[in-house]
Amino acid sequence: MAERLGPPLDEPIFDELAIIGIGLIGSSLARAIRKQNGARWIVIADASDETLARAEALALGDRYTADVTEAVRGADCVLLCAPVGATGAIGRAIAPALKHGAIVSDVGSVKGAVIAELEPLLPTHAKLVPAHPVAGTEQSGPDAGFATLFVNRWSILTPPASADAAAVGKVRALWEAIGANVEIMGAAHHDLVLAITSHVPHLIAYNIVGTAADLEDVTQSEVMKFSAGGFRDFTRIAASDPTMWRDVFLHNKEAVLEMLGRFSEDLTALQRMIRRGDGDGLFDLFTRTRAIRLGIVAQGQETAAPDFGRRGPGENAPGRRA
Amino acid sequence: MAERLGPPLDEPIFDELAIIGIGLIGSSLARAIRKQNGARWIVIADASDETLARAEALALGDRYTADVTEAVRGADCVLLCAPVGATGAIGRAIAPALKHGAIVSDVGSVKGAVIAELEPLLPTHAKLVPAHPVAGTEQSGPDAGFATLFVNRWSILTPPASADAAAVGKVRALWEAIGANVEIMGAAHHDLVLAITSHVPHLIAYNIVGTAADLEDVTQSEVMKFSAGGFRDFTRIAASDPTMWRDVFLHNKEAVLEMLGRFSEDLTALQRMIRRGDGDGLFDLFTRTRAIRLGIVAQGQETAAPDFGRRGPGENAPGRRA
């Protein structure tokens, strides 16, 4: 997977850009936008004094403030990078201070609920262009971010029907400048797609780790020691930021419950196959699922190295075959 | 994670060792045992002519045969590395040819069913020491194996009460020579532990990939493009060998159904939290699950690098902080 940024822009897209919330995604954006010359001036706001001080120590922006209203006053573009649950409060705080014609965008993993909250709050002169970069790691906070996080990843824009075309173009250009591929779709469809590719996978990872933690006949020490059989991969996903994920499930309730319902139906069918000893049925499913993996690798969204490339190269190591 | 083999043994543990089934695990064993001088002479058998020819091309052993009966005739130790479902047939074929006092071991992910099948088949002079290395990748076949696969991984021995102590000691020494840690436990407990750390995780990974493949309102192309949000990690697990996993579920039915039942109960509770908007309940679970991850990393069973170390180091990359 290519993970290098291209050459920086000759001219910045925005004069002043405000990032509200400087966690994993916000700080990766600050680093990438700075590196690619996406904005002349970066203002950083965060509700936590500690996080803000850390952002300043890392020199992620040009100005730092705990006051979101103050942060957006001169911004041509405002990027909301706080957990989705804070959208309403931030929207109310920034609305009266927004510069005329300012673009307001975000990075929330849920789009329908964010638009429903923001649209009625923002002044009519502001231009809403919601976005969601499908990228991240299980780590959190400004130290966890890095400039190449979005390279070769998809950023989905879900502009409302009334969206300003020039504003959509600028937001697209910003994501492309930091290495992302851009796709445009409706918010409802986004929420359904992400429910299956991200939200339900996180939910079942959290769930199985919880189940394992509560067992009485298997100790936690045993779970940890023998986790290399598959379980440890779920624990990585289940180590993601709890606040962010709580908000995702509360704000994409309908699509998550819909996809979870299908998952559970399918699991019941699989359970029945095991109970009845239907080896052919199991084999059939286990064969079909390989095709999707191959497609993901072919599309550059994954490394083909076994075990996620955890193993270093060595004699007879996979990937070094002639 | 240290992934180097130690110095080879001065004296081999076995004169002649037969490996029945030369896939990912069998071929990794052949490479590691050869490298560590675990046996003087390695005989390789496989039911597939193509696989056997490939093993010979890779020079994994000293002798190659499609006839398992013939393969074990001179062996001091026989390692069954075929899918668990083939255990009975192989056991019947080798039983009359086993050398007096030969050790018979295996690498099956299920232990109770394997012992129940093998014990009545083997001659009384043979010494059964079942084993299960908790290691692997999603790849299959003799090309996928490598000598360091078992380094710092656990191999669980489940000797029956009647097992020969000297034979258990030799099998333990063989695993330790190729870098594994050895744990001894009862077969029933093994099957319960592995149901939660390996079998159910694989089952739900296969299941969600199947669910995603069958959706009508989300295309497979969308599933692949936006898989970086969590789904792609499940696809790796769901790319594992279908025959091996079919056999695991058919042979560890009881423990898998037991653990699956608990998983489903917990998932139903989680579903109710989402439906009712119980943010505190969700946050509480999502916080608890982090502790298990930390324990796994602390025990050296996982890399702490974000995203499984998929990202290379770079400016401001995680893991390079002072």
Residue range B14-185, CATH number: 3.40.50.720
Tell me the nearest-neighbour CA distance from B47 into chain A, angstroms: 19
> B-chain residues within 8 Å CB-CB of A233?
201, 233, 236-237, 308
* Side-chain half-sphere exposure of B143, counting CA atoms within 13 A: 10
Picking from B218, B260, B302, the nearest residue to A192 by CB comes out as B218
DSSP code per residue over A253-266: HHHHHHHHHHHHHH
Q: Which two tokens stand for residue B204?
A: 């739900």
- Please say if the pLDDT value at position A151 is more than 70: yes
Contacts of B169 (CB under 8 A, 6+ apart): none
Kindly tell me if the per-residue pLDDT of B1 is higher than 70.
no
Q: Where in chain B is the domain with CATH 3.40.50.720?
A: 14-185
What is the C-alpha radius of gyration for chain A, rounded to an integer number of angstroms? 22
Q: What stretch(es) of chain B map to CATH 1.10.3660.10?
A: 190-303
Q: Which residues of B touch A262 (CB under 8 A)?
A: 211, 214-215
Choosing among A35, A157, A267, A273, which should be mutated to test the B contact, i.e. which has the most B CBs within 10 A? A267
CB contact under 8 A, A213 and B183: no
Q: Is B296 on the interface with A (CB under 8 A)?
A: yes
Q: What is the DSSP letter of B179?
A: T
- State the pTM of this model: 0.90
Task: Say if B257 is an interface residue toward chain A (CB within 8 Å).
Answer: yes
CB of B149 closer than 8 Å to CB of B32: yes
Helix (H) or strand (E) holding B168: helix B165-177
**pLDDT bracket for residue B229 (50, 70, 90):** confident
Contact between B223 and B214 under an 8 Å Cβ cutoff? The reply is no
CA distance A258 to chain B (A): 11
Nearby residues of B309 by Cβ (< 8 Å), 6 or more positions away: A308, A309, A310, B303
A15 touches chain B (CB under 8 A): no
- Check: complex ipTM more than 0.95: no
Distances (CA, A) of A213 to A216, B188, B263, B302: 9, 20, 11, 18
Nearest CB among B198, B239, B318 relative to A293 is that of B239
Interface of A with B in 169-188 (CB under 8 A): 183
Q: Check if B204 contacts A (Cβ < 8 Å).
A: yes
pLDDT tier at A313 (50, 70, 90 boundaries)?
very low
Contacts of B79 (CB under 8 A, 6+ apart): B17, B18, B19, B20, B26, B29, B105, B106, B107
Calculate mean pLDDT across residues B266-292: 95
State whether residue A314 sits within 8 Å of chain B by CB.
yes
Q: Do the Cβ atoms of A253 and B282 come closer than 8 Å?
A: no
CA B80 to chain A, closest CA, distance in angstroms equals 19
Alpha carbon B204 to chain centroid distance? 17
- What is the predicted pLDDT for the residue at A309? 67
Residue A277 has its nearest CB partner, among B146, B250, B279, at B250
Interface test with A, best of B231, B237, B263, B270 (most A CBs within 10 A): B231
Contacts of B157 in chain A (CB under 8 A): none
The answer to whether domain B190-303 has CATH 1.10.3660.10 is yes
pLDDT band at B290 (very low <50, low <70, confident <90, very high): confident
The nearest CA of chain B is from the CA of A101 a distance in Å of: 31
Confidence of residue A193 (pLDDT cuts 50, 70, 90): very high
pLDDT band (50, 70, 90) for residue B27: very high
* A207 close to B (CB below 8 A): yes
Backbone angles phi, psi at A17, to 5 degrees: -130, 130
Residues in CB range of B118: below 8 A, 6 or more apart: B87, B91, B104, B106, B128, B130
- Comparing A318 with B300, which gets the higher pLDDT? B300
Count the alpha carbons within 13 Å of A3 in the hemisphere toward its beta carbon. 16
Q: Mean per-residue pLDDT for A17-32?
A: 98
Preferred mutation among B182, B227, B254 to probe A, highest tally of A CBs within 10 A: B227
- Given an 8 Å threshold on Cβ–Cβ distance, is B250 in contact with A194? no
End-to-end Cα, chain A, rounded Å: 20
Buried b (16+ CB within 10 A) or exposed e, A120-146: ebbeeebbbbbbbbbbbbbbbbbbbbb
